[in-house]
Amino acid sequence: MKNDRDRLTIRIFLAVVVGALIIGGLTYFLDKKGNSQTDEGEDEAQSSSPKPAEEGIVDGSGTKNCENIPELPNNALKLATKIIDGDTFLIEGGYSVRILGIDADERGYPCYEEAKKKLEELILNKEVKLEKGSEDLDQYCRYLRYVFSPASAPASAGKDAQNISLELVKEGMAIARSSPEDIKYREIITQAEKNAKENKIGCKWSATTPALVDNPASKQIIFQWDKLTQELTGLIVVNACQAGNYYEKEMIVEGKIVDTNRSKTNTVFLNLEKPYPNQCFNSVIFSSAQYRFVQSPENYYLNKTVRIKGEIKKYQGKPEIILNDPLQIEIGK
């Protein structure tokens, strides 16, 4: 009888231990995955560019379910039917394509109109060849492709074959930007950007680049920094909208926090320069680290110009720095 009670006690103890491990693991997983920034039912209209209704639906995490997007074979030939901006366009059927290897300004930023117009000249109402990179779709259910025009020309040879990413960067309409996995054309695109910079070519590098559309007459404010400076840290300071050029590097990122959010798992997101999901850069404070920071950091830092120090990582196509210590962030004076 005693042995039976002992065995029952052991079983109950083991069940409690296993249950605690499962709950602890689930809590950690949710905290880590809380980086979607969105709650269930968030308006689909917040995506970064207009998309047809059939291009996926928003699931409970706030990201899109792309199951209804048809397969697009490598090197498919498609007609470009509408230009959204300098790096995004629609093909026949109304599906979106995000051009790989570059990043162009969105609406309201200096080179939006010029980059869009240039892409229209290059591909609108023309058949283009769409070459796959390392990933098929992004989080907004857009095809990720290198684009070549005319479609009949080989991508690797012949003066008639235009790499559209390369053309836009050569003419100073976009900057070079690629994921660590997409290296196929990175060298030639990066070299084209270097040449455009040195020779002040196009809207991105010309001395006459227009001001932000949203605030054309604004006078630049000079902020003072006591701690997060290049002199004191030895780290380079970059603008939030350029942070995507420095993945896996420790940097200081400067910009204005224009949008914040606390997720259902109590993860705090600080979005710089543009609201989510179009933010140039975001900084993340997981719930496990928030006891070190001020109360309600999502309110405290909102509308402040800050510098953030740390290693720049890529999450869901955007650069971010995870904040574990308040010494990583400084408000400009």
Q: Which residues are catalytic?
A: 98, 106, 142
- Report the alpha-carbon distance of residue 157 to residue 129 in Å, rounded: 14
The residue assigned the tokens 């684009």 is 147
Q: Where in the chain does DSSP place strands (E)?
A: 57-58, 64-65, 76-85, 88-91, 95-99, 102-103, 127-137, 143-149, 162-163, 175-176, 237-239, 250-262, 268-272, 281-285, 305-311, 313-315, 318-322, 329-331
- Report the alpha-carbon distance of residue 5 to residue 16 in Å, rounded: 17
Do 99 and 88 form a contact (C-beta atoms < 8 A)?
Answer: yes
CA angle 64, 70, 73 (to 5 degrees): 120
State yes or no: cis peptide before 277, omega within 30 of 0. yes
CB atoms within 10 A of CB 103: 22
Q: Using the 8-state DSSP alphabet, how is residue 193 labeled?
A: H
What Å distances lie between residue 316 and 33, 139, 197, CA to CA? Answer: 11, 7, 28
What secondary structure does DSSP assign to 147-180, as a single string? EEESTTS-SSS-TT-EEHHHHHHHTTSSEE---T
In DSSP terms, 128 is beta-bridged to: 78
Tell me the three state secondary structure of residue 97: strand
Query: Amino acid identity of 296?
Result: S
Q: Which pair of tokens denotes residue 233?
A: 């840290």
